[in-house]
């Protein structure tokens, strides 16, 4: 029941993840994530992280194995991640905090990795048959370990707002 709710909540934002991020940015001036972060009212500069060092270490190895071929070894992704390619698909975005990944609460990030982007017209493969839930969390921990305290604090507020009441 809990999971179904998360799934329902996640569908609308996922469309934004896959399609909207690029379009929305088209006319906008290039604003870096660091510059945009304070607009989301970052009251606390630091927030304690949800993951352990062990999770980050395991996630790093899994990321290199499953994700680095597209998102790059350092999670820096493709420099032109906002531009649709000839097939109308988005290139793999950076996950290191320089793009949009920190706009998405944890349940949605898990969802993206589990289901991929193909059902939404994107090209990222699904990992739900290849990685366990714990492994996906470890990979996301490694990804988030690349985010500055400022980015993480802003993400933390978005995440708390989105997951309020869901434990």
Q: Is 106 in the site for ligand HEC (CB under 6 A)?
A: no
Structure tokens at 24: 């929305």
Closest alpha carbon to 136 in 99, 109, 105: 109
Q: Is 125 in the site for ligand HEC (CB under 6 A)?
A: yes
Out of 33, 112, 141, 153, point to the residue binding ligand HEC (CB under 6 A): 112
Closest alpha carbon to 147 in 90, 104, 86: 104
Minimum CB separation from ligand HEC for residue 1, in Å? Answer: 25
Q: Is 108 in the site for ligand HEC (CB under 6 A)?
A: no
Do residues 6 and 165 touch, judged by C-beta distance below 8 A?
no
Out of 6, 37, 71, 155, point to the residue binding ligand HEC (CB under 6 A): 71
Out of 55, 96, 101, 144, point to the residue binding ligand HEC (CB under 6 A): 101
Q: What angle do CA 89, 90, 91 make, to 5 degrees?
A: 120
Sign of CA dihedral 143, 69, 58, 138: positive
Q: What are phi and psi of 86, to 5 degrees?
A: -60, -30
Stretch that binds ligand HEC, among 3-11, 34-42, 117-125, 151-159 (CB under 6 A): 117-125
Q: Which residues sit at the interface with ligand HEC, rule CB under 6 A?
A: 17-18, 21, 66-67, 69-71, 89-93, 95, 99-101, 104, 109, 112-113, 117, 122-125, 127, 139
């Amino acid at each position: 029941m809990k999971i179904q709710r998360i799934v329902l909540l996640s569908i609308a934002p996922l469309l934004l993840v896959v399609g909207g991020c690029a379009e929305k940015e088209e006319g906008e001036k290039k604003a870096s994530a660091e510059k945009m972060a304070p607009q989301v009212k970052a009251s606390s500069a630091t927030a304690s992280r949800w993951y352990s060092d062990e999770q980050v270490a395991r996630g790093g190895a899994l990321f290199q194995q499953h994700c680095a071929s597209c998102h790059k070894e350092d999670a820096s992704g493709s420099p032109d991640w906002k531009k649709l390619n000839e097939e109308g698909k988005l290139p793999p975005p950076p996950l290191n905090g320089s793009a949009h990944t920190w706009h998405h609460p944890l349940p949605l990030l898990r969802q993206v990795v589990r289901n991929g982007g193909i059902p939404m017209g994107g090209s990222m493969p699904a990992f739900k048959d290849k990685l366990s839930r714990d492994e996906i969390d470890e990979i996301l921990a490694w990804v988030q370990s690349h985010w500055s305290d400022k980015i993480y604090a802003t993400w933390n507020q978005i995440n708390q707002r989105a997951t309020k009441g869901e434990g």
